[in-house]
Amino acid sequence: MSDSDFTEVIDAFEKHLRTERNLSDHTIRAYLGDLESFTAHLAVLGLTNISTLEISHIRSWLANMQVKGGARTSLSRRAVSIRLFTKWAQKKGLTQTDAGVALITPKPHRTLPEVLDIPSAALAMDALALRVGEEEDSPMSLRDCAMVEVLYASGARVSELCGLDFESIDYERQTIRVLGKGNKERTIPIGNPAMKALKAWIKDGRPHVATNISANAVFLGARGKRIDQRTVRTVVYEALSALEGFERMGPHALRHSAATHLLEGGADLRTVQEILGHASLATTQIYTHVSTQRLQQAFKQAHPRA
């Protein structure tokens, strides 16, 4: 198979991911990157026709990635990418069998996410509120306070926060509607402090920044455009950098913290899954391990018989 043949297959697979599976651009880029790496390896192996693809070719590629130092999480994702591709290739008649169906996905090491404890989270929010007062309700301080409050209250992803429009907010029910992975919408409660901070930004901060290009975007950059993810991350890093021991935590730490604190407060796993927008309950279950670990630490520190 020539390079041009490989390119045609990759282009057709991209069209499938985009139009039939409706995946996000980020996910599509990841899948295509894996497929390009895989087809390059097939060329090295001398595979001339994709119809002769076998599981040994896939295992050879994954082994090569592992030798090059690929992490187990990366190998696991690559295996998923290729299994999706081989299933599609068989359906399209490019291969007689699904070569990846018997592939065992390497189990990634699940590292427990870093989370803020509840007092530290409260301290971070209070520090932002104090900054608003010190800076006499400056637009940027109002915006930053609202963004961090909403991220912690909702457990939303940064991309979801950036995508908020005015119609996404339900003031009466105190909820926001976000567009998550796979273009799936979900509604998340945010509570009083976050809604108060959000209203303050929209009423007293946003009008000073908004321009004719702002449209319905809730959060704006300094020049009036919809805020970008890099700016949000910078704001969160700066907000958490003042907390001893949490200097390197970013927006995802707020998402992890929201999930962990919900579980510690008695929320059931399915509810947390729905709030976070996880497709699989297994993804949400890691937070039960975090909660258990924190309970064990508290026991060791506080119980006389620990």
Closest by CA to 160, choosing from 252, 71, 80, 237, is 252
Known catalytic residue at 16: no
Active-site option among 157, 206, 256, 261: 157
**Closest to 218 in 3D by CA, of 149, 277, 121:** 149
Q: Which of 78, 255, 256, 261 is catalytic?
A: 255
Instruction: Please state, in angstroms and as integers, the Cα–Cα distance from residue 1 to each residue in 6, 40, 62, 82, following that order.
Output: 7, 11, 21, 18
Q: Which of 181, 186, 226, 294 is catalytic?
A: 181
**H-helix segments, the chain:** 3-15, 25-45, 55-67, 72-91, 118-134, 139-154, 158-162, 191-200, 229-241, 251-264, 269-276, 281-302
Of the candidates 223, 254, 116, 232, the residue with the CA atom closest to the CA atom of residue 164 = 232
287 catalytic residue (yes or no) = yes
Q: Please pick, among 199, 225, 252, 294, the residue that the annotation labels catalytic.
A: 252
Active site residue 278: yes
Q: Annotated active-site positions, please?
A: 157, 181, 252, 255, 278, 287
